[in-house]
């Protein structure tokens, strides 16, 4: 039986430090997660197969992290019917033109929740995932409520 409810997908090991606050918050909420390192575009078939296996194992929410122009959240949302949260990581100034292209609307039915970047974005991805899972988990819902009632601090 798989205990993990969230799968976090990053493009490369260099992104691991940027999502550390997300993983710390998930740990604090008591939410089990798994991390995957894979490129959605360079390893498309492998990526889609990993997503399918995660759905079969019972993953309920996917979090992706990568540059906003990575395409990972698009491919993820097109591959699963489950919620996808994307944490955009910093992008080099010469890629800003590509970023504006990313901000165009996704095709209908390809929904992604895009969180702000940085430490607060990584934390907020965990909070949003906890709120989603809390819909069917009263204990988790109470933990999130307590966290928010205490000024978004763990007490």
Q: What is the CATH number of the domain that holds 22?
A: 3.40.50.1970
| Residue 6's pLDDT band (cuts 50, 70, 90) | very high
Average pLDDT over residues 87-105: 59
CA dist., res. 150 & res. 137, Å (int): 20
Quick count: other Cβ atoms within 10 Å of Cβ 140?
19
Is residue 71 included in any domain, yes or no? Answer: yes
Residue 10, in any domain of the structure: yes
> Quick check: is 154 in a domain?
no
The predicted model scores a pTM of 0.87
Is 113 within the bounds of a domain? yes
- The pLDDT, as a whole number, for residue 101 is 52
Q: Is residue 45 part of a domain?
A: yes
Residue 82, φ and ψ in degrees, nearest 5: -85, 160
Kindly tell me if the per-residue pLDDT of 102 is higher than 80. Answer: no
Q: pLDDT over 70 for what percent of the chain?
A: 87
User: Can you give the residue range of the structural domain that contains 122?
Assistant: 6-147
Q: How far apart are CA 147 and CA 128, in angstroms?
A: 13
Region 5-10: mean pLDDT is 96
3-state secondary structure of 152: coil
* pLDDT, position 67: 80
Residue 153 lies in a domain: no
pLDDT tens digits, one per residue of 24-74: 999 999 999 999 999 888 888 999 999 999 999 999 999 999 886 778 898
Nearest to 126 by CA among 137, 110, 138, 113: 113
Residue 82 counted as domain residue: yes
152 in a structural domain: no
| Number of independent structural domains in the chain | 1
Confidence of residue 106 (pLDDT cuts 50, 70, 90): low
User: What six digits make up the tokens of 79?
Assistant: 């591959």
Q: Is 94 exposed, middle or buried (CB count within 10 Å of its CB: 0-12, 13-18, 19+)?
A: exposed
């Amino acid at each position: 039986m798989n205990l993990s409810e969230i799968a976090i997908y990053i493009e490369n090991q260099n992104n691991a430090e940027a999502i550390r606050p997300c993983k710390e918050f998930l740990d604090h909420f008591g939410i089990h997660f798994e991390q995957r390192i894979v490129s959605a575009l360079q390893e498309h078939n492998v990526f889609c197969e990993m997503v399918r296996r995660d759905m079969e194992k019972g993953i309920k929410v996917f979090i992706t992290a990568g540059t906003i122009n990575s395409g990972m959240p698009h491919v993820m949302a097109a591959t699963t019917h489950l919620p996808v949260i994307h944490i955009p990581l910093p992008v080099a100034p010469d890629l800003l033109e590509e970023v504006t292209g990313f901000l165009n609307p996704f095709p209908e039915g390809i929904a992604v929740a895009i969180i702000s970047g940085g430490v607060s974005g990584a934390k907020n991805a965990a909070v949003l995932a906890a709120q989603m899972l809390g819909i069917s988990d009263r204990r988790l819902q109470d933990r999130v409520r307590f966290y928010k009632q205490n000024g978004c601090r763990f007490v």
